Amino acid sequence: MEDGKDMTVNVVVAHTNPCARDELATPLRESGYDVVEAADFDAALSACVELEPDVALVSKCIESAAGGTLLDELKGDPEVFSTAVVLVAPGQIALSLAQELLERGAEDVLMEPATAAEVLARVRAAHRTKTLQDELVGQGRRLETMLHEDPLTGLFNRRYVLTRLEGLISGARRHGRPLSVAMIDVDHFKQINDAHGHDAGDAALVAITSALRDRLRAEDELGRLGGEEFLALLPDTPAKAAASVAEDLRAAVENLTATVSVGWATWDGHEDADGLIKRADIALYQAKDAGRNAVRGAGEGSASLRRRT
Using CA atoms, how far apart are residues 77 and 42, in angstroms rounded to an integer? 15
The answer to whether 241 touches 303, Cβ cutoff 8 Å, is: no
Give residue 65's identity as a one-letter amino acid code.
A
Give residue 180's identity as a one-letter amino acid code.
S
The answer to whether 134 touches 107, Cβ cutoff 8 Å, is: no
- Which of 107, 228, 229, 300 does the annotation list as catalytic? 228
End-to-end, the C-alpha distance of the chain in Å comes to 57
Using CA atoms, how far apart are residues 12 and 42, in angstroms rounded to an integer? 13
Q: Is 100 a catalytic residue?
A: no
Count of all residues that appear for the chain in the document: 309
Using CA atoms, how far apart are residues 305 and 303, in angstroms rounded to an integer? 6
Catalytic residues: 228
